[in-house]
Amino acid sequence: MMKIDLHVHTSHGSGCAYMDPDQLVQKAKFVGLDGVCITEHDQLWSRDNIERLKIKHDFLVIGGVEVSTDFGHVLVFGLHDSVREVGTIRELRKIVNKEGGVMILAHPFRYEPDIIGAHFLSISNGSSSSKELEKVCKDPDFKLIDIMEVYNGRSGINEINFTALVAKRLGLKSVGGSDAHATLELGTSYTVFEKEIKDEEDFIAQLKSGQFFGVDDRWSEDLVSAHP
């Protein structure tokens, strides 16, 4: 079993982050993670730099990227060329298919507090669904992603629970990542993999096999199940 944080930013590639890559790995070890994925905004680390960090700390580091698209932020693994020119989720899907990578929709409802609020208001009187949930699930763009990031360290519990309901409804597997921009934020949300992962290739194979689940340690007993 391996605990991996699928979503981390560093000061090396994200201007908005405060943590340097060495601090990131040291803190990741300290909080009990077995690996981290570095996913800067629209920018990939070179394979050499990932490898250097991995060897320096004898710790699993995987290079990914958080791509901004017309369908929101997408964590992508398996790409090694620039993604700066990618604008739409459809274009991204084509590129990722060609490279045999994986697409994970990150914090899908971060900027939709009204939808989330209206949903929880409607179900507070006992109904199991809401018109907001039904409407969201009809969006055809969900067919273009492989996995949903349900557990995000920067999301609140309503956002996570709403995302879990959508993932369950759509039959999408869920993962967790801290979305940490500073060391203090590491270790809250992560993904548990059943098999050992040694490198990017193992990691992508495990994501495709579906043998993993997302975890959020902050509110475990208040979370709704995301299992389809």
Residue 225, class by beta-carbon neighbours within 10 Å (0-12 exposed, 13-18 middle, 19+ buried)? Answer: exposed
Query: What is the smallest separation between the CB atom of 195 and Zn ion, expressed in angstroms?
Result: 26
Q: Which residue is nearest to Zn ion (CB)?
A: 73
Query: What is the smallest separation between the CB atom of 23 and Zn ion, expressed in angstroms?
Result: 17
**In contact, 103 and 76? CB cutoff 8 Å:** yes
**In contact, 105 and 136? CB cutoff 8 Å:** no
Residues contributing to the site for Zn ion (CB under 5 A): 66, 73, 106, 179
Distance of alpha carbon 27 from alpha carbon 115, whole angstroms:
35
Query: What is the smallest separation between the CB atom of 106 and Zn ion, expressed in angstroms?
Result: 5
Helix, strand, coil content of the chain in percent (nearest 5) = 35, 25, 40
Please, which residue, 130 or 162, has the CB nearer to Zn ion?
A: 162
Query: What is the smallest separation between the CB atom of 18 and Zn ion, expressed in angstroms?
Result: 14
**In contact, 7 and 62? CB cutoff 8 Å:** no
Please, which residue, 66 or 200, has the CB nearer to Zn ion?
A: 66
Please, which residue, 130 or 148, has the CB nearer to Zn ion?
A: 148
Tokens of 55: 């060897």
Please, which residue, 66 or 216, has the CB nearer to Zn ion?
A: 66
